[in-house]
Amino acid sequence: MVDKFRGRKSYPSQNVLAVVDFDLRFTYVLAGWEGSAHDSLVLKDALTRPTGLKIPEGKIFLADARYAARPWILPPYHGVRYHLNEFAGSRDPTTPQELFNHRHSSLRTTVERAFAALKSRFKILSQRPFIPLKSQIKVLVSYCALHNWILENGPDEYVVDEATWYANLPRSSGSVRDREADIREWASKRDLLAQQMWKDKESAQK
């Protein structure tokens, strides 16, 4: 059992799925999965639970590169420039895929900022767990709720401003296998979005 909780870290850990809004608040948290569990499996669990993750009608969630394109969830293009510091200076996007990734990264840094603030505020989350798993789950969810409450009730010293964050962006990469039909369909939708963004950009420059 312990081995299942050994993911990318040398000690037992959890794979936590979280959804964050643009105000850095956690709107959904699923904790308790083993650290070795694949992200796509955790996402599937969240989407199929009776009271699990619900994507509002007409909305699209942005996911990191470890997920595949699936209904209403879009990851960035693999093998294409993504992180904002890769577009610094005069290195503007040169293809529709790069433009999509640039805008995807600009928006998804909200998730990284929210987790950074959460871990800075509650140092226990950055340490090797020393309490039972069931308690760990409750602690994490409670901290996310407290984080939201603090943000709604005044300034927050642990939230890094965007300018500072963009100068120190984390990097990540990965791949995933998922239902082939959904992957093809939503990869095509992503292509259409990228092409439309590119056309709008070219029109604005004329």
Check if the beta carbon of residue 54 is closer than 8 Å to that of residue 159. Answer: no
% of the chain with per-residue pLDDT over 70: 81
> The whole model's pTM is what?
0.75
Tell me: pLDDT of 206 over 50: yes
178 vs 106, which has greater pLDDT?
A: 106
Residue 148, pLDDT score: 94
Residue 160, pLDDT score: 63
Tell me: pLDDT of 170 over 60: no
Tell me: pLDDT of 200 over 60: yes
CB atoms near residue 107 (< 10 Å): 10
Decide the pairing of beta strands 26-34 and 61-62: unpaired
Residue 155: is it exposed, middle or buried by C-beta count within 10 angstroms (0-12/13-18/19+)? Answer: exposed
What value does the mean pLDDT of the chain take?
82
**Domain boundaries of the chain, sorted by first residue:** 61-205
